Structure 1
Amino acid sequence: PPPIERSVRSALRGGGKLKFAVMATHIDSSRHLEGLFSQGLKDIAWTPSGQPWLFTDSPNDWYVKTVHPGVEIAFPTDYRGPGIDQVPTTSSDVDKLDGLAGQVTRTSFFVANVNGVLRVQGTLCTRKQVFWSTEDGIPVASNKISVLHRLIRPKIDRSALALYLMPSLPQQPLADRTHWKGINAVFAGNWLKISGSSARNVRWWSDPGRDLEFKEGAVAVRSSLNSALLNATAASDIVSVDLSGGMDSTSLCFVLHDLGRTFAPFRTSSLSASNDETRRAHGVAQSYGWSLRELRPLAEYSSTFDLAPETSVPALYEGPIAWAASRRYLDDLALAIAKSGSNLHFMGLGGDELFDYMPGTVRSLWLESAPRALGIIRHLQTSRRIKGRTLLRAALRGDSYQQTLERVSLAMQQRTKADASDRYSWVPPMEIPHWFSDEGRALVIEKFSTIAAHPPAPLGNDPLAQQTIESITFQGGVLRQLSEVYAASGIDWQAPLTDIEVLRAVLRSRASARFHPDNDKPLLAAAVGSAAPHDFYHKRRRGDFTTDVHVEHGKRRRALFDELSESALADLGIVDHAAMRAAVYEPSSTDLGLFDAEHIVTAERWLRSVEQITGRN
């Protein structure tokens, strides 16, 4: 096998090109073998009896090694980290490879065959995700939904599409769904165990607990961020990075500069007069001597309310694209990145989730220190205009994760209005939009009731940790979709703040580390330290692109209303056609109303594209 330390400038660059599948060996698996071979996959690992179990379209980009009689491991050579020989791999139990698998899946996939039992694992943030399906008693796993789709030819899962349209949704208990019946995703924090004809999720992740004081947490965050950036850039002469002027992406620029890495910064801007990130970005770039590449304002690219079909076939397998409204901007950004000579681009995704206030913060603060929580509750009451009584009820509420899910499920069934304090619990209230059909409402209630009765154990020990981890897994999915759609560009899209070691460092820090009377994101500010200007993290208004969305909606709403005279969503029975059109034409004045309209358009666009390109409904 090629040495793992080699510079990776192959088809793996971009992350979306590599395709692999893992299949349990069966005597009647010839049809599945033919299905994999017909997709350009070649077998690269075999059992002692000569039966193939690992297949890929890039054989030269895999490291395969027999580490013990009956124990074979494999992973792509985009793994970046310590030498693999530093980790003992003599276990003959597939459940006892956590140390090795955890090391590799910081950045890549890990697979193992231990005496016929298979282990398939991706990253915690789901940027490297494993999907699986079973047909004729044969489980097949892959990093590509398209591989499984071509094997089993599934129908669209209406329940998954109805859940996608919900304005608020917990990520973890629904994380196994794709938009295709019979194709599942492995839960975040789990690996897939394939033994004979069975396939099941096995939990490997555990919350590290809060054991670091503020200064210790800042050191841990900076150390893990340095490690993530150095590992990622080891094989790249020049990288590119977003420099929005906001705290997260700009912090990456500060750290890269401090590490002596050369980078090309890019940004776009907003039409909003209250968004001062442009001024901040220009000031930082000038101060540090960075040559800032600035693209047109985001509103000039936006396709938030555009029903033009998606033409990227790989994107269709992923379902409705989370960032579809920014597609035209990203097209230009990818071209500009390639012209700069970079094949590795960093984004600031994950920063708000790690370092800012989240709804579950109040309860977690109370568990940490009631006196300190009272002071912060008072601050939230005045700064965010939230009733103190509401926050106090949320702090005192001791419901478990399952109890919260059960309460939310019951409220949906009975159509009762959520208590204001419910917004600050483990799971946000789930209010089914009025434009759902009775059938669509029933699909959501049935799915969520089943989950609430038998939920997975929470990923976090408290509401704040749970929501932080869930949000990071969502951002990882955005990165995965980017890599899928822009695979041909050769760009590796990364968000270092979603790195598992950065996440662990934040989770080990106190909940109160997210609050400071003078600074925004104080833990991030302390981690970056003197690499940033001394006043960069001082309290300020956040970047806001809502104005751009309002402007676009005003321009498009009449045409959009006419274009929705026929609706694929209505044909599937998920929405009430007339109510849905009215909601898109005249959403409420709140951001939530525009969010509803955006989700409707994104789902409708996807359905129309699926019908046009794949001929399926």
Structure 2
Amino acid sequence: MTDVAPVRSALAWGGRRPVWLVDAPAHRWRVMEAGDCRLLVAGDCYASEVELRAGLEAVRDEDWRALTLWPGSYWAVADNGETCAVISDLAGSRPVYFTPWDGTMAWATAVRPLVELTQTVLDVVSVMARMACATIPEITGTATTHQRIRRLPGGHALVIGRGRRPQVVGYEIAQAEVAFDEAASALRGALVEAVTCRTRSVRRVSADLSGGLDSTSLAFLAAENATDVLAVTRDDPAAPNDDITYATRIAMHPNLTHLVVRDGEAGLFYDRLLEAPRTDQPFTDAARWSMRYTFHSQVLARGTDLHLTGSGGDTVLTAAPTYLAALVKASSMPALLRHASTRARLRQQSTSTVLADAARLSRTGYRQALRDLAASIEFPAGSDRTGPTTLRWYAPLSLIAWLSLDARRELAKRARAAADANVLEDRGMSVRRATDDLREFGTYQAELTGQLEATGLPAHAPLLDNAVVRACGSVAPHQLQSCTTQKPLLGTALRGLVPQYLLSRPTKGGYDGNAYAGVRRNAATLRALLEDSLLASEGLLDLSPARAELARIVAGAPGRLASLEALLTTELWLASASSRPRSETWQPVKVTAHG
């Protein structure tokens, strides 16, 4: 029969459910077949040939989770003749999108090919919802930037079977919490394997060496497994901190070649914004692309086959402040007092205020949390009874106050509908919200990886490998926090492998100075983006408060940097999507109807 196939593609297998790989180097994908069973892994999968062949048994048994246990970060596609499963990673950093087409379900690892296949149009309301409530799936659902195209959540498989409706199936099994030391041991093994597999698979290895715990630990582990690792550190005069001190000390490792990039006047937030590589979906870090490219161009000039980053560490190795509610429920008073005192000191509150806030949150069930969310969306000026430091299970970005009344009512309606339809128990709210944060970070990481690869950098984020995510998620959220050190699970896991002075580091660097300088330097470009706002033209944004916020930050006053960044990069993406010419993605092809 006549069908279509993507251009510049290799056919992994044909038949009723053909799979193509587009612009994929041969070393990035492998296929195993036995009888009716076929297995594809694509991305960075470090399973041996023996392990992949054994995986065909899982394909036959439709044990999708078993196909997610190998080291690396990858997609898996499994077909046993009756059923095909397309499997993402736990975080969703290997995205899968799907849409009805021609009586079946078409899927891809990017939205754009499906847009050009189905000729669907922008879904601006869903874009707005994700901009304001990115970590709240009860608001965003699985919608993407285009109508009828859905995203597969992390930890799920898209299952397409003969004579059955396609299903989205969660493959991860809820596990009982384990002891802290057991989780640390699992994390140690997962990180060592993640780095070792990567460094031994290529000739030239490079790594971010920020001086922070995550990237610096990975760079040190890489140096223990490779003879010459190019480690690059960004010394940012606009955001001074002690990162450079820790990076310089670690760089004394004999297998590290240290490169310090001192930006001077280059590499601020929002620099060359209009030149940022286009991403498949909106991407808040588009505001930082020039800063990142200025930094990584030094690596590209020297050449690398694989570049390690610490991306994802803050998500999997720390817990949101709402973990205090879990401590209340656990009746762990000594720990609760220590952690509440620490938060009170950082937030300039009294310990009693924090304790009362944690107690209130512990009594707030799932339905009530969603109803509170709806109120805070619809009436952002008056619904928060206790101020911006109040602990809440759900909190939209503060830019919610910049949306039009109609837009806020739409989002509030979604929150109330989720509350009314709730069938979930109130137990495990901290774990549920941590999973939401992880999956949203996965959507971010997918675009970050795509943008870095568009500049030529073969970026890897080992901290989002499934084994690492599972180890970090196996302890109670409060065990990921310490009153004295950063990331206690990482510190215990890497004790003896990474210098203790790094693992015990109490401070963390920041970028606020760079962001404020970047806004001032690029004010004209940012004003123009707002004046041409597509969200405003669609009646979803009230430009006046957004303009006022930009003016305040340009003038040097403290402002809502994260909200402004989300709004401006969303407008940038929408402007790009509206003007993007149609490409030649598909071509007619003959495919067989069997096999």
Q: Is TM-score (shorter-chain normalized) higher than 0.5?
A: yes
Q: Distance in 2 between matches of 1:192 and 1:175?
A: 16
Counterpart mapping for 1:403-552 below 5 A: 403-413=368-378, 416-420=382-386, 423-428=390-395, 433-454=400-421, 462-487=428-453, 491-538=457-504, 540-552=506-518
Cα distance, 1:362 vs. partner? 0.7
- Is 1:198 aligned to residue 165 of structure 2? yes
Q: Distance in 1 between matches of 2:252 and 2:55?
A: 49
2:573 matched residue in structure 1: 606
1:374 matched residue in structure 2: 337
Q: Distance in 2 between matches of 1:453 and 1:110?
A: 36
Structure 1, gaps ≥5 residues long? 1-28
Cα distance, 1:273 vs. partner? 6.3
Moved more, 521-530 or 162-171: 162-171
Cα distance, 1:136 vs. partner? 4.0
Q: Distance in 2 between matches of 1:430 and 1:332?
A: 29
Q: Distance in 2 between matches of 1:114 and 1:71?
A: 4
**Native 8 Å contact 1:514 1:521 kept in 2:** yes
Cα distance, 1:303 vs. partner? 4.2
Counterpart mapping for 1:76-95 below 5 A: 76=42, 78-82=44-48, 83-84=50-51, 87=54, 89-90=56-57
Q: Distance in 2 between matches of 1:319 and 1:256?
A: 32
Q: What is the SS of the residue equivalent to 2:79?
A: strand
Cα distance, 1:93 vs. partner? 6.4
**Native 8 Å contact 1:304 1:325 kept in 2:** yes
Cα distance, 1:257 vs. partner? 2.9
- Is 1:118 aligned to residue 84 of structure 2? yes
**Native 8 Å contact 2:31 2:40 kept in 1:** yes
Counterpart mapping for 1:257-272 below 5 A: 257-260=223-226, 262-272=228-238
Cα distance, 1:429 vs. partner? 5.5
- Is 1:54 aligned to residue 24 of structure 2? no
Q: 1:559 to 1:483 in 2, by over 3 A?
A: closer
Match of 1:45 among 13, 24, 43: 13
1:346 matched residue in structure 2: 308
Q: 1:164 to 1:286 in 2, by over 3 A?
A: same
Cα distance, 1:539 vs. partner? 5.2
Q: 1:180 to 1:457 in 2, by over 3 A?
A: farther
Counterpart mapping for 1:243-262 below 5 A: 243-260=209-226, 262=228
Q: Distance in 1 between matches of 2:271 and 2:25?
A: 42
Taking only the aligned residue pairs, the percentage that are identical comes to 19
Match of 1:574 among 540, 544, 557: 540
Q: Distance in 2 between matches of 1:446 and 1:464?
A: 24
Q: What is the SS of the residue equivalent to 1:427?
A: coil
Cα distance, 1:252 vs. partner? 1.2
Q: Distance in 2 between matches of 1:615 and 1:373?
A: 56
- Is 1:154 aligned to residue 154 of structure 2? no
2:192 matched residue in structure 1: 226
Q: What amino acid maps onto 2:191 in structure 1?
A: L
Q: Distance in 1 between matches of 2:303 and 2:312?
A: 26
Residue deviations 1:329-375 (CA, integer Å, cap 9, x gap): 33344433333332211111122223335222212333445222233
Moved more, 564-573 or 284-293: 284-293
Q: What is the SS of the residue equivalent to 1:544?
A: coil
Q: Distance in 2 between matches of 1:510 and 1:434?
A: 34
Q: What amino acid maps onto 2:176 in structure 1?
A: G
1:388 matched residue in structure 2: 351
Cα distance, 1:265 vs. partner? 0.6
Cα distance, 1:604 vs. partner? 1.8
Q: What is the SS of the residue equivalent to 1:291?
A: strand
Match of 1:358 among 316, 320, 324: 320
Counterpart mapping for 1:552-563 below 5 A: 552-557=518-523, 560-561=526-527
**Native 8 Å contact 1:337 1:343 kept in 2:** no
Counterpart mapping for 1:144-183 below 5 A: 144-166=110-132, 169-170=135-136, 174=140, 176-183=142-149
Q: Distance in 1 between matches of 2:472 and 2:108?
A: 31
Q: What amino acid maps onto 1:275 in structure 2?
A: N
Q: What is the SS of the residue equivalent to 1:530?
A: coil
Q: 1:456 to 1:228 in 2, by over 3 A?
A: farther
**Native 8 Å contact 1:75 1:110 kept in 2:** yes
Q: Distance in 2 between matches of 1:402 and 1:575?
A: 28
Q: Distance in 2 between matches of 1:605 and 1:429?
A: 21
Moved more, 252-261 or 320-329: 252-261
**Native 8 Å contact 2:43 2:73 kept in 1:** no
Counterpart mapping for 1:577-596 below 5 A: 577-587=543-553, 593-596=560-563
Q: What is the SS of the residue equivalent to 2:107?
A: strand
Q: What amino acid maps onto 1:407 in structure 2?
A: D
**Native 8 Å contact 1:299 1:552 kept in 2:** no
1:7 matched residue in structure 2: none
Residue deviations 1:574-597 (CA, integer Å, cap 9, x gap): 212333322322259886612222
Q: What is the SS of the residue equivalent to 2:304?
A: coil
Q: 1:305 to 1:404 in 2, by over 3 A?
A: farther
**Native 8 Å contact 1:321 1:602 kept in 2:** yes
Q: 1:457 to 1:53 in 2, by over 3 A?
A: farther
- Is 1:329 aligned to residue 329 of structure 2? no
Q: 1:539 to 1:100 in 2, by over 3 A?
A: closer
Q: CA RMSD in A?
A: 3.4
Residue deviations 1:296-344 (CA, integer Å, cap 9, x gap): 338721342765265x4xx34x222231122123334443333333221
Aligned length: 573
Cα distance, 1:278 vs. partner? 1.7
Residue deviations 1:228-268 (CA, integer Å, cap 9, x gap): 11222231123111111112111112222334563111121
**Native 8 Å contact 2:135 2:436 kept in 1:** no
Q: Distance in 2 between matches of 1:137 and 1:446?
A: 32
Cα distance, 1:206 vs. partner? 3.4
Q: Distance in 2 between matches of 1:446 and 1:413?
A: 9
Q: 1:345 to 1:162 in 2, by over 3 A?
A: same
Q: What is the SS of the residue equivalent to 1:108?
A: strand
User: Which TM-score applies when normalising by structure 2?
Assistant: 0.85
Q: What is the SS of the residue equivalent to 1:165?
A: helix
Residue deviations 1:502-546 (CA, integer Å, cap 9, x gap): 122222234443344543322222222133333334454320110
**Native 8 Å contact 2:366 2:419 kept in 1:** no
Q: Distance in 1 between matches of 2:134 and 2:79?
A: 39
Q: What is the SS of the residue equivalent to 1:478?
A: helix
**Native 8 Å contact 1:167 1:430 kept in 2:** yes
Moved more, 338-347 or 161-170: 161-170
Q: 1:394 to 1:170 in 2, by over 3 A?
A: farther
Q: 1:120 to 1:467 in 2, by over 3 A?
A: same
**Native 8 Å contact 2:238 2:517 kept in 1:** no
Q: What is the SS of the residue equivalent to 1:295?
A: strand
Q: What is the SS of the residue equivalent to 1:529?
A: coil
Moved more, 345-354 or 333-342: 333-342
- Is 1:128 aligned to residue 128 of structure 2? no
Cα distance, 1:562 vs. partner? 5.3
Q: 1:157 to 1:505 in 2, by over 3 A?
A: same
